[in-house]
Amino acid sequence: MAIFIDEKDIGTAWLAAYEALQETGQAVNLSVAIAHPLHEDVGVRRAIERRLVELQAAGTSNFANPQSMHTVANTIFPIGLYRPGRDGAASRFMANVHRNEGLRASSRSRRWGTYIGRLTAYPSQDGSTTNQLELILKTLNAGRKYVDTYEMPIVAPDVDLGSPGHLTSGAVLHGDVGFDTLKRGGPCLAHISLTSSRDGALSMVALYRAHVYETRAYGNFLGLARLLAFLAAESGRDVGQLLVVTGHAYSAAPGRATLLAAACAAAGTVTPIEISARRLGATMRDLDLPTVLR
Amino acid sequence: MSGVTHSEIREALIAALANVEGVDVEELEQGVAANGGDSLYELDSKVAECVIAEVGEAFGVPLVGPADLPPDQYATIEALLDLLQGSLAATSEV
């Protein structure tokens, strides 16, 4: 049965969705609506991160290299590269992303790439790429105001395939279904859709084929909210709602009830999220995973 | 990459960082001074990636990215400078 969560901020939304996963550890067609995506509950964020560190320390399988929610969010929108308030801020951000993706191309840890890489250099079979963010901003800033023409695929059917003809249950969005195949380890975020409503707000729908709630969901909500804030700011719009639809949402950690209880106990500190770089020379190390268990 | 001095690498690093941040070199140097110098001016890991890419391009050599490095090697301007100097020296020995 499909589940619909409708909450105000990222933290509260994550809590409600995680509660829905408690009984069986998974859900099919889980939709999470966040009315004010530029707000989060830092208590919930920290509770998740503490649990990830505990699982790592305990040697739990699949939790050997946990990432902070900030790091997860950076895969969608790396805020350290966006410094608004100066001419060409959006272009500079995209140029910075391009540099990083070029450097990452030879990294030992590279697999299919990053979400922001797909947004700024979506691959085609002929080797060319498309800067989807640039196209979206161009359309948003055009004279004619379209409401619903802003689509950004992440999955590239002719690039992310395993072997043609070996179909899996991955999201099928477009193109030749013989090539619309995904292997495990490919992008979980499949597609982003934007709506520019007549009240001046820009809203987003993100479609995930799969979503792990302990390691990824909160950071992904955060990254999507940052991306939405960027697009709204660079097109002179307000930030609207964020809706995250997941085909297969699941828990991968033992002790779901333990994390839920800890997150509920830590909840209550709702603050605005950061959406751009800090002042020159300022660290973001406070957003790393906690290193000391209490 | 023989013959490149510490000062030349710092100059390239500062120019790259200014470009990434969208400020001019003078403003950046003021920011470095305001933060207490090269050893205290901290870098976001994504910014450090950009700087490494730009400096590598400036000297015509591909350099290793932060994804394959421990964070303390690019946490400050001073650390990144040491990293770049070592990488460029290693390139010259190949």
Interface predicted TM-score (ipTM):
0.89
The reply to whether residue B35 touches residue A281, judged by beta carbons under 8 angstroms, is yes
Contact A223, A244 (CB under 8 A): no
The reply to whether residue B34 touches residue A110, judged by beta carbons under 8 angstroms, is no
- Residue A292 counted as domain residue: no
Identify all chain B residues contacting A94, using CB atoms and an 8 Å cutoff. none
Quick one: closest CA in B to A283, which residue? B42
Kindly state the greatest CA–CA separation across chain B. Answer: 39
Residue A63 sits in which domain range? Answer: 3-271
CA distances from B87 to B2, B14, B94 (A): 11, 17, 11
Give domain limits for chain B: 6-93
Q: For residues A40 and A45, give the distance between their C-alpha atoms in angstroms, rounded to a whole number.
A: 8
Residue of A34, A9, A67, A73 whose CA lies nearest to A276 = A73
What pTM was estimated for this model as a whole? 0.90
CA distances from B72 to A43, A90, A162, A272, B84 (A): 27, 29, 37, 29, 13
| Residue B8 reports pLDDT greater than 80 | yes
Chain A and chain B share a number of CB contacts under 8 A equal to 80
- Whichever domain contains A66, its CATH number is 3.30.572
Lowest mean pLDDT among A27-41, A105-119, A128-142, A218-232: A105-119
Q: How confident is the model at residue A168 (pLDDT cuts 50, 70, 90)?
A: very low
Contact A69, A45 (CB under 8 A): yes
Query: What are the structure tokens assigned to B15, written together?
Result: 């120019």
Identify all chain A residues contacting B69, using CB atoms and an 8 Å cutoff. none
- Res A167: pLDDT: 36
Q: How many domains is chain A partitioned into structurally?
A: 1
The reply to whether residue B53 touches residue A99, judged by beta carbons under 8 angstroms, is yes
Half-sphere exposure of A204 (CA within 13 A, CB side): 28
- Residue A294 counted as domain residue: no
- Interval B18-45: pLDDT, tens: 999 999 999 999 999 999 999 999 999 8
Query: What are the structure tokens assigned to A72, written together?
Result: 């997860």
| Residue A197 reports pLDDT greater than 70 | yes
Q: For residues A285 and B45, give the distance between their C-alpha atoms in angstroms, rounded to a whole number.
A: 10
